[in-house]
Amino acid sequence: METVQDITIQSDQLQKFAEELYQKAGVGTEHAKLMANLQVETDLRNVHSHGTRMLPGYIRSILKGEINPAPQIHVAQEGTAFAVIDGDNGLGHPASVLAMKMAIEKAKSVGVAATGVRNAGHFGAAACYSMMAADTNMIGFSTTNTGRATVVAPGGTTPVTANNALSYALPTGNEQPIVLDMACGASSWGKISTLKMYGEPIPENWLLNTEGQSTVDPNQGPLLMPAAGEDMGWR
């Protein structure tokens, strides 16, 4: 049976559906609305790999007890221009939103600020948070670690870094902000998982098999090429 991609749904209906699913799984009303809003917004930016496609996985993690649906998110450390947020093993999005809000407010006072989140789950698309800063006429930067090393060095076959995500957002006055949202590897694993889910081919020079050979088969490609490719990745 073919996996269907061309089902159309209104964004407000999708958001309501997502909210209800989170609430059924034990997520509070405020966090459920925040999660649904960020994921649908991500879909509307055509970043479906990190939008509502992630919803079933998040719900499964909650039901398995891997994610706390009702975390007590709190500030663990704080200074004039920094803060550390503890996510209490909850979903990554709510803690990350709080962290960026705090960074923005601190930067308004001292010019620049950095905040971090610990003990929280996957935070979705990195641009969700850098764009919050751009919306207040600030340069925003957000990044996250993604676990074990899967990205090889140029010309190598041994993974040396995780496929960490990073995003910049630059305000441009009356125009739309300039936004970069990327991974350290040739693609995010979310993008690759999406292509795999729909049976679509993986572009060449993204994946390497265990023998270090390029492959377009996601089932044979546990390693990622670096973002700029084999020739330019060293830069």
For domain 189-232, give the CATH superfamily: Hypothetical oxidoreductase yiak; domain 3 (3.30.60.50)
Kindly report the average pLDDT of the chain as a whole number.
Answer: 92
CB 67, CB 25: distance < 8 Å: no
- Which region among 55-59, 122-126, 212-216 has the lowest average model confidence (pLDDT)? 212-216
Q: What is the pLDDT of residues 148-193, one digit of tens each?
A: 899 998 888 889 999 999 999 999 999 999 999 999 999 998 999 8
96-105 as b/e, with b when 16 or more CB fall inside 10 Å? bbbbbebbbe
Q: Residue 73: is its pLDDT beyond 50?
A: yes
Measure CA of the first residue to CA of the last residue in the chain; give whole Å: 44
In 3D, which of 58, 54, 74 has the Cα closest to residue 26? 58
Enumerate the β-bridge partners of residue 181.
Answer: 167
> Where residue 2 falls among pLDDT bands split at 50, 70, 90?
low
Judged against a pLDDT cut of 70, whether residue 3 lies above it is answered with no
Q: Which residues of 112-140 are buried (b: 16+ CB within 10 A; e: fewer)?
A: ebebbbebbbbbbbbbbbbbbbbeeebeb
pLDDT band of residue 1 (cuts 50, 70, 90) is very low
Given a contact cutoff of 8 angstroms between Cβ atoms, the answer to whether 14 and 43 are in contact is yes
